Copies of this chain bind each other. A is one copy, B any other.
């Protein structure tokens, strides 16, 4: 039933708030279902679609699709996500940003040396560890035992690191350039309550 979508949304909200699922009876209360068997039927449906899973202890856990979001292009009129089922352009932000989880690290950005590239202090860089990068890539390098996020460039003298802020000079590594990884994404969270920026 299409009602299921609304039920799922409530479950997702509950999970976002508590990071845990309520028991069937609790789900019933939450959703306005007075019988646990109704909940069981709902759960079975959501399970088939991959939103929920069960632990060996018969408890509920989020399924692969539980965290999916639909990406809305800025449409002309009407609201985003208008097409409920047409374009299934939905996936998890993690899946979207992180291709190789085991090699990926999150690093908080310090300093404003990359503001012109749209990277502000406090942002979180999604860094994939590697020793290969091409000129033009945003990289995290190790300079003077410090991590630094810069754009990799190359001239006739060799590699160098370019800030994206005229107030900072380019860095030309003495000796070899020690690369930590390449930046594959950026995350920024705006504090609703004055947390972040």
Contacts and interface: CB of A to CB of B under 8 A. Distances in A.
Contacts of A138: 190
A105 B23 contact: no
A60 interface: yes
Contact of A74 (B69, B72, B110, B118): B110
Interface residues on A, range: 35 or more
A104 B95 CA distance: 17
Contact of A75 (B95, B147, B186, B189): B147
A156 interface: no
A175 interface: no
A94 to B, nearest CB: 4
A39 to B, nearest CB: 14
Q: How many copies does the complex hold?
A: 2
Contacts of A71: 106-108, 124
A67 B96 CA distance: 12
Interface string A53-95: 0011101111000010111111111011100000001001111
Contacts of A185: 187-190
A4 interface: no
A47 interface: no
**Residue from the set A26, A97, A182, A190 with the largest chain B CB neighbour count within 10 Å:** A190
Interface of A: 9-10, 12-13, 15-16, 18-23, 26, 55-57, 59-62, 67, 69-77, 79-81, 89, 92-102, 104-110, 115, 118-120, 123-124, 137-138, 145-147, 180, 182-190, 192
